């Protein structure tokens, strides 16, 4: 009999979990508290309790070719970075194509997930849900927790003495929807993550003045990278990932700094991170530097105190007449439906094996998905997580002993702190390509570059030097997809398609820059030759 799996939440993580359950012949049931799919990506004008809330102008910070699921490339004509409504459209066609909606019970909230009395032998869970005021209970062989982690606002009000005196308006970034109503105001945005930078840039168009207060600063990157390629296609290649792993730390740090300062000098814009060598997640924002250059945004240090109308900063400066404070101070998370001993949450830290499995359960029948913040797109990451989890549930893969898992968790934590720092917002940070490969290895889907090099050198070169996208994990092994090879070789076309909106004469076969390089090379040879002759 097929094993029954409960999937909690129908956001991206829930949808891909459903598909992977179906692929593995498991029998999933998904519970979604709202009336529709999409989770975070379904924009609404009002803020809903218990669901992530985004502003109208959210655009993905990971590109379409790096964000799609591995056997379902995004439509050719979709832009490379997607407005939230477009991304939701992708999830809708995805759900339709794989016929996932029939597994979802909408407007059904999961209240509790408890071990069955015979858990140590069966690994079963009792799931209590509520729908239309009616409670129901059912038993499942496994549970996939896909309830998201951008729901509970984190506002460290204690760090802002005087906030109770402040006469203006203040709220968490989760409440922010659009710039209407903020025209002509003096606005202080606290924090320097992606949301902070987006909101500050958007508001600064019509506000009187916007300030961004940051304790630590941040690197800022453009979505547009070398030759106009999306940043993540250039950054996340196996080759570069390998370099980042093998180069001595000092060389790597120096290179990263050079690279990151190429667009603009972060120190001169008051943005340079305090500890500039931590690979803390950079902000992706194309507007912030120009807004700072116009003076529309001023970067300030940490706030030490607030008064009725003004903010006092660490360096002693004061900005008066502040009308609005936006706390873009991130999120914290919890799993109200799980009974405590399933896993610990300490200081926003979860002890999960490979960010997924509670290590202390007698049976590996519960997994958390999407509880991670990779430096790249979360969608292919969650997909590999779901492929692995479903194979663990099915008994095709097994987890190591509790002790091995605990050791791995501790080792990983140390490494994370070394690379990304100890800050609250970095708890879920992890290295992208390494983590994808690690998951793929578990399910035998990691591409074997060496053997590929002999069979199909062109493809092997693409895999190694080209972007590390999700199709790579469908080339071989379980879940192989015959379209994967073609998807890898044709991605250039899907990147360019939405841009080819006006015909432009094809470039000459020998572009001048190429000729220059050849000439330059000749010049060097000639110079070298004469040099030898003169002495």
Ligand X SMILES: *[C@@H]1O[C@H](CO)[C@@H](O)[C@H](O)[C@H]1NC(C)=O
Summarize as ranges the residues that interact with ligand FAD (CB under 6 A).
Answer: 8-14, 31-34, 39-41, 50-52, 54, 58, 60-62, 67, 109-110, 146-148, 150, 195, 337, 370, 377-379
**Which partner from the list ligand X, ligand FAD, none does 58 bind, CB cut-off 5 to 8 Å by kind?**
ligand FAD
Q: Between 264 and 481, whose beta carbon lies closer to ligand X? A: 264
Residue 284 makes contact with ligand X by CB under 6 A: yes
CB of 51 to ligand FAD, least distance (A): 4
**Which partner from the list ligand FAD, ligand X, none does 358 bind, CB cut-off 5 to 8 Å by kind?**
none
**Which partner from the list ligand X, ligand FAD, none does 265 bind, CB cut-off 5 to 8 Å by kind?**
ligand X
**Which partner from the list ligand FAD, ligand X, none does 33 bind, CB cut-off 5 to 8 Å by kind?**
ligand FAD
Distance of alpha carbon 349 from alpha carbon 385, whole angstroms: 19
Q: Write out the binding residues for ligand X, residues 159-178 only, by CB under 6 A.
A: none
Tokens of 167: 């006469």
Site string (253-272) toward ligand X, x via CB under 6 A: ------------x-xx----
Q: Between 2 and 267, whose beta carbon lies closer to ligand X? A: 267
CA torsion, points 446, 448, 453, 457, in degrees to nearest 10?
-30
Q: Between 380 and 479, whose beta carbon lies closer to ligand X? A: 380
* Three-state DSSP state, 221: strand
Tokens of 471: 């199709």
**Which partner from the list ligand X, ligand FAD, none does 204 bind, CB cut-off 5 to 8 Å by kind?**
none
What is the pairing mode between strands 209-213 and 220-221?
unpaired
Q: Between 82 and 306, whose beta carbon lies closer to ligand FAD? A: 82
Residue 375 makes contact with ligand X by CB under 6 A: yes
Based on the number of CB atoms within 10 Å of its own CB, is 295 exposed (0-12), middle (13-18) or buried (19 or more)?
exposed
Nearest C-alpha neighbor of 386 from the set 23, 119, 1, 134: 23
Phi, psi of 490 (to 5 degrees): -110, 10
What is the pairing mode between strands 27-31 and 104-105?
parallel
**Which partner from the list ligand FAD, ligand X, none does 221 bind, CB cut-off 5 to 8 Å by kind?**
none
The correct pick among 28, 123, 148, 193 for binding ligand X (CB under 6 A) is 193
**DSSP assignment of 420-440, as one string?**
H-S-GGGTTEE-HHHHHHHHH
**DSSP assignment of 74-92, as one string?**
PPTTS-SS-BHHHHHHHHH
Residue 358 makes contact with ligand X by CB under 6 A: no
**Which partner from the list ligand FAD, ligand X, none does 146 bind, CB cut-off 5 to 8 Å by kind?**
ligand FAD
Helix axes 432-442, 378-394, angle to 10 degrees: 20
What does each C-alpha distance from 473 to 26, 188, 375, 402 come to in angstroms? 21, 44, 18, 28
**Which partner from the list ligand X, ligand FAD, none does 267 bind, CB cut-off 5 to 8 Å by kind?**
ligand X
130-152 in b/e burial notation, b at 16+ Cβ within 10 A?
Answer: beeeeeeeeebbbbbbbbbbbbb
Answer whether 259's CB lies under 8 Å from 220's CB.
Answer: no
Q: Between 209 and 491, whose beta carbon lies closer to ligand FAD? A: 491
**Which partner from the list ligand FAD, ligand X, none does 311 bind, CB cut-off 5 to 8 Å by kind?**
none
Phi, psi of 472 (to 5 degrees): -55, -25
Q: Between 108 and 173, whose beta carbon lies closer to ligand X? A: 173
Answer whether 66's CB lies under 8 Å from 232's CB.
Answer: yes
Size of interface with ligand X, in residues (CB under 6 A)? 13
Residue 281 makes contact with ligand X by CB under 6 A: yes
Q: Between 11 and 168, whose beta carbon lies closer to ligand FAD? A: 11
CB of 317 to ligand FAD, least distance (A): 30
CB of 198 to ligand FAD, least distance (A): 8
**Which partner from the list ligand FAD, ligand X, none does 8 bind, CB cut-off 5 to 8 Å by kind?**
ligand FAD
Q: Between 270 and 309, whose beta carbon lies closer to ligand X? A: 270
Helices (H), 98-144: 119-122
Beta strand residue intervals within 331-388, DSSP E: 331-332, 345-346, 349-350, 366-368, 373-374
What is the pairing mode between strands 345-346 and 349-350?
antiparallel
Binding span for ligand X by CB under 6 A among 5-13, 98-106, 189-197, 481-489: 189-197
The correct pick among 206, 310, 373, 423 for binding ligand X (CB under 6 A) is 373
Q: Between 109 and 489, whose beta carbon lies closer to ligand FAD? A: 109
> How many CB atoms are located within 10 Å of the residue 340 CB?
8
CB of 400 to ligand FAD, least distance (A): 26
Site string (49-68) toward ligand X, x via CB under 6 A: ------------xx------
**Which partner from the list ligand X, ligand FAD, none does 419 bind, CB cut-off 5 to 8 Å by kind?**
none
CB of 280 to ligand X, least distance (A): 11
Q: Between 140 and 219, whose beta carbon lies closer to ligand X? A: 219
Distance of alpha carbon 442 from alpha carbon 387, whole angstroms: 10
Answer whether 113's CB lies under 8 Å from 140's CB.
Answer: no
Residue 241 makes contact with ligand X by CB under 6 A: no
Q: Between 139 and 243, whose beta carbon lies closer to ligand FAD? A: 139
Tokens of 342: 């399933």
Nearest C-alpha neighbor of 363 from the set 408, 334, 402, 391: 402
Answer whether 57's CB lies under 8 Å from 178's CB.
Answer: yes
Please give the residue ranges that form the binding site for ligand X (CB under 6 A): 61-62, 193-195, 265, 267-268, 281, 284, 373, 375-376
């Amino acid at each position: 009999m097929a094993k029954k799996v409960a999937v909690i939440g129908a956001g991206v993580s829930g949808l891909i979990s459903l598909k992977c359950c179906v692929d593995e012949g498991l029998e999933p049931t998904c519970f979604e508290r709202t009336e529709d799919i999409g989770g975070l990506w379904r924009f609404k004008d009002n803020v809903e309790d218990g669901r992530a809330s985004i502003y109208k102008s959210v655009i993905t910070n990971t590109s379409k070719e790096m964000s799609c699921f591995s056997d379902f490339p995004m439509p050719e004509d979709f832009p490379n970075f997607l407005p939230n409504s477009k991304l939701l459209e992708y999830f809708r066609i995805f759900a339709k194509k794989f016929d996932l909606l029939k597994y979802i019970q909408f407007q059904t909230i999961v209240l509790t997930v408890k071990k069955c009395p015979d858990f140590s032998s069966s690994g079963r869970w009792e799931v209590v849900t509520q729908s239309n005021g009616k409670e129901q209970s059912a038993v499942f062989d496994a549970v996939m927790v896909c309830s998201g982690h951008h729901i509970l606002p984190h506002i460290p009000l204690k760090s802002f003495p005087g906030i109770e005196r402040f006469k203006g308006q203040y709220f968490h970034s989760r409440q922010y929807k659009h710039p209407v109503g903020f025209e002509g105001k003096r606005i202080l945005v606290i924090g320097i993550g992606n949301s902070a930078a987006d909101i500050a840039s958007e508001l600064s168009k019509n506000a009187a003045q916007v300030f961004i207060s940051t304790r630590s600063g941040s690197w800022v990157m453009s979505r547009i990278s070398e030759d106009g390629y999306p940043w993540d296609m250039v950054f996340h290649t196996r080759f570069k990932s390998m370099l980042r792993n093998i180069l001595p730390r000092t060389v790597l740090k120096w290179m990263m700094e050079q690279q990151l300062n190429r667009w603009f000098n972060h120190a001169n814009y008051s943005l340079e991170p305090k500890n500039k060598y931590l690979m803390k997640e950079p902000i992706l924002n194309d507007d912030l530097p120009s807004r700072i250059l116009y003076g529309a945004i001023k970067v300030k240090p940490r706030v030490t105190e607030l008064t009725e109308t003004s903010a006092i900063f660490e360096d002693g400066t004061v900005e008066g007449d502040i009308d609005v404070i936006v706390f873009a101070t991130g999120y914290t998370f919890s799993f109200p439906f799980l009974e405590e001993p399933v896993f610990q949450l300490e200081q926003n830290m979860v002890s999960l094996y490979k960010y997924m499995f509670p290590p202390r359960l007698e049976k590996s029948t519960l997994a958390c998905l999407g509880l991670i913040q990779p430096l790249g797109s979360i969608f292919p990451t969650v997909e590999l997580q779901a492929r692995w989890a479903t194979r663990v549930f099915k008994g095709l893969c097994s987890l190591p002993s509790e002790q091995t898992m605990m050791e791995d968790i501790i080792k990983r934590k140390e490494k994370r702190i070394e690379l990304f720092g100890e800050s609250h917002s970095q708890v879920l940070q992890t290295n992208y390509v390494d983590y994808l490969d690690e998951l793929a290895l578990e399910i035998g889907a990691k591409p074997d570059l060496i053997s590929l090099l002999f069979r199909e050198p062109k493809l092997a070169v693409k895999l190694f030097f080209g972007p590390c996208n999700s199709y790579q994990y469908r080339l071989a092994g379980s879940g192989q997809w015959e379209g994967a090879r073609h998807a890898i070789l044709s991605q250039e076309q899907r990147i360019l398609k939405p841009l080819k909106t006006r015909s432009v004469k094809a470039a000459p076969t020998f572009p001048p820059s190429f000729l220059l390089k050849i000439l330059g090379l000749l010049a060097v040879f000639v110079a070298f030759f004469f040099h030898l002759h003169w002495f």
